[in-house]
């Protein structure tokens, strides 16, 4: 079936690699646009081109949004056309607007008000932070527009949430567990849902929400439009999509495992947990002006590290599953406002944090699931900014690092320490951020053998990045270098340790004594 059959009132310019609908009749089309062509040289789309109303476009302009992101450019026309959609995109790519804007547009065209204890649109997300973030974003799009949004999450008063839903709502944003609790209390019915969104679907499955989602799917009408967004597409997500969606279109704007181009990545090989803590504190001390998120695998580990940093004078807070909703919201607000400089977090919170000022992300513990690494470092380099992602790799984490690098198809540059011997493998292209800890064509290269003369391994910069080449020659040329062209460097005289460079770009700030 031809694509235009799904959009009978649209003309389709071939735009940025996707057939982007442009309405006819109600909106003037660009000169020269025909059924499947676009004016020569046209390379950008505006929100006005995507079929959104003038009121919504004006609001976006007021908010400073003029050019849609790729997921918005490709997804909004599909949603406006009434099709089910699978959207594959990393966090921070503008998915909320991709489903929120066309949903608002369609709800406004249908002037029917919601009945008591019902909702016309349902958005499901895995964490409290993400639910609140989605709700806040949607409200910003609804300035002076007559739509009502509610959000319900665990950890908050269920009685207050019942009262909020009493008179019905146009859009309900919820975590699956709290939604089912409210349904059990007859506080909300899903019989009127026309639009269903599953956001961060892979994270919902990772957190064990599959059974809750299947219960919810039986409560919403079969005649609905369903949108599923995910950063990855494992078989479990494909199965979920098959049961929830009908003949969906699939839009992918970045392959799984791809990090933002502006994220500069480095790894420090350390002797153990104590060495991780000391390295973290050193980098935070040397970079007092930025904001950092430090990720750990466990709630206990996150809280223990937070208490240690707090006791030693750092501006720090933690956010994890053992924190109440109020505690999590206060920690995020303090971090967003700049009162807190370092946030200690677990992966539960990884996808709910959207703070453009985050300059550093630390993988204090490497994640068990390599996809989580991509989501973690996606907390930095947002809104067009640069960012630095630093990983600490202990003696027992070599396999985890290898899995991450295999997923991303790169070797993460070494900032300090020596990789375990079991990490040796064929070379891969490196990410932004240059070479590893070595300063040229020397060092014990992981990928090459043979004799070669080179400079010694330089020290790490104050912000955690490897020092540039050009430090002292000689020294112990046997330091690990993952990208140098050479082999076993000849030992020289002296330590060969470069002096750390100063940087004021990122990190946590110590409190004044």
DSSP annotation string for 491-507: P-SS--PPPPPP--SS-
Reported as a pLDDT band with limits 50, 70 and 90, residue 23 is: very low
SS3 of the chain: helix, strand, coil, percent, to 5: 30, 20, 50
> Which residue has better confidence, 507 or 134?
134
465, 444 Cβ separation under 8 angstroms:
no
Q: What does the block give as tokens for 12?
A: 């389709």
CB atoms within 10 A of CB 280: 25
122, 220 Cβ separation under 8 angstroms:
yes
Give SS3 for 364.
Answer: coil
Q: What does the block give as tokens for 284?
A: 């935070």
Q: At the top level of CATH, which class does the domain 263-434 belong to?
A: alpha beta
CB atoms within 10 A of CB 357: 14
Reported as a pLDDT band with limits 50, 70 and 90, residue 448 is: very low
Highest mean pLDDT among 131-135, 323-327, 367-371: 131-135
Q: pTM, whole model, 2 decimals?
A: 0.64
* Mean pLDDT in residue range 186-209: 93
Q: What does the block give as tokens for 384?
A: 């067009």
Structure confidence at residue 129 (pLDDT): 87
Q: How far apart, in whole angstroms, are the C-alpha atoms of residue 438 and residue 474?
A: 12
Q: At the top level of CATH, which class does the domain 51-252 belong to?
A: alpha beta
CB atoms within 10 A of CB 7: 20
145, 55 Cβ separation under 8 angstroms:
yes
Q: What does the block give as tokens for 354?
A: 């959207």
Structure confidence at residue 502 (pLDDT): 38
Reported as a pLDDT band with limits 50, 70 and 90, residue 388 is: very high
pLDDT above 70 (res 52) = yes
Percent of the chain with pLDDT over 70: 70
CB atoms within 10 A of CB 98: 28
pLDDT above 70 (res 32) = no
CB atoms within 10 A of CB 130: 25
Q: How far apart, in whole angstroms, are the C-alpha atoms of residue 294 and residue 365?
A: 9
Q: How far apart, in whole angstroms, are the C-alpha atoms of residue 163 and residue 90?
A: 35
Q: How far apart, in whole angstroms, are the C-alpha atoms of residue 198 and residue 352?
A: 15
What Rg do the C-alpha atoms of the chain give, in angstroms? Answer: 25
Closest CA to 455 of 483, 490, 500, 417: 490
Give SS3 for 391.
Answer: strand
Q: What average pLDDT does the chain have?
A: 78
Structure confidence at residue 203 (pLDDT): 84
CA torsion sign, 436 to 441 to 443 to 448?
Answer: positive
Give SS3 for 14.
Answer: strand
Reported as a pLDDT band with limits 50, 70 and 90, residue 306 is: very high
Q: How far apart, in whole angstroms, are the C-alpha atoms of residue 244 and residue 140?
A: 29
CATH 3.40.50.300 residue spans of the chain: 51-252, 263-434
Eight-class DSSP state of 6: G
Q: What does the block give as tokens for 319?
A: 């956010």
pLDDT above 70 (res 224) = yes
> Which residue has better confidence, 369 or 217?
217
């Amino acid at each position: 079936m031809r694509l235009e059959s799904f959009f009978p009132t649209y003309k389709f310019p071939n735009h940025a690699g996707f057939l982007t609908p442009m309405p006819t009749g109600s909106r003037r089309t660009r000169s020269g646009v025909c059924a499947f062509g676009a004016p020569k040289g046209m390379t950008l789309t505006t929100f006005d081109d995507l079929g959104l109303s003038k009121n919504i476009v004006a609001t976006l302009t007021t908010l400073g949004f003029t050019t849609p992101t790729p997921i918005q450019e490709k997804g909004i026309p599909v949603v406006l056309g009434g099709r089910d959609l699978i959207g594959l995109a990393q966090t921070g790519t503008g998915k909320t607007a991709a489903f929120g804007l066309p949903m608002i547009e369609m709800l406004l065209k249908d002037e029917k008000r919601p009945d008591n204890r019902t909702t016309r649109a349902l958005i499901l997300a895995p964490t409290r932070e993400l639910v609140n973030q989605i709700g806040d974003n949607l409200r910003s799009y609804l300035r002076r527009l007559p739509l009502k949004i509610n959000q319900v999450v665990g950890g908050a008063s269920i009685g207050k949430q019942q009262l909020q839903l009493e008179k019905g709502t146009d859009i309900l944003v919820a975590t699956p567990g709290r939604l089912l609790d409210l349904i059990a209390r007859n506080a909300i019915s899903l019989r009127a849902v026309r639009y269903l969104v599953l956001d961060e679907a892979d994270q919902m499955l990772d957190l064990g929400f599959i059974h809750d989602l299947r219960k919810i799917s039986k409560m919403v009408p079969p005649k609905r439009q369903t949108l599923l967004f995910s950063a990855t597409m494992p078989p479990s997500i494909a199965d979920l999509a098959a049961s929830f969606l009908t003949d969906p279109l699939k839009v992918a704007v970045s392959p799984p495992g791809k990090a933002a181009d502006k994220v500069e990545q480095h790894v420090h090989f350390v002797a153990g947990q104590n060495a991780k803590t000391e390295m973290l504190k050193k980098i935070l001390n040397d970079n007092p002006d930025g904001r950092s998120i430090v990720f750990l695998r466990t709630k206990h580990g996150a809280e223990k590290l937070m208490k240690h940093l707090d006791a030693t004078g750092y501006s720090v807070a933690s956010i994890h599953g053992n924190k109440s909703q109020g505690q999590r919201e206060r920690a995020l607000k303090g971090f967003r406002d700049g009162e807190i400089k370092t946030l200690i977090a677990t992966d539960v919170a990884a996808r709910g944090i959207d703070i453009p000022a985050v300059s550093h992300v630390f993988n204090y513990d490497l994640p068990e699931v390599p996809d989580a690494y991509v989501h973690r470092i996606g907390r930095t380099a947002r809104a067009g900014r640069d960012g630095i992602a630093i990983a600490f790799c202990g003696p027992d984490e070599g396999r985890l690092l290898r899995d991450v690098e295999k997923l991303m198809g790169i070797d993460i540059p070494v900032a300090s320490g020596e990789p375990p011997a079991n990490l040796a493998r064929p070379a891969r292209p490196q990410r932004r951020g240059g070479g590893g800890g070595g300063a040229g064509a020397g060092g014990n290269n992981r990928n090459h053998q043979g004799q070669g003369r080179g400079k010694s391994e330089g020290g790490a910069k104050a912000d955690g990045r490897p020092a540039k080449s050009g430090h002292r020659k000689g020294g112990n040329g046997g330091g690990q270098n993952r990208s140098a062209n050479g082999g076993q460097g000849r030992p020289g005289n002296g330590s060969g340790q470069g002096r750390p460079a100063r940087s004021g770009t990122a990190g946590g700030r110590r409190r004044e004594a």
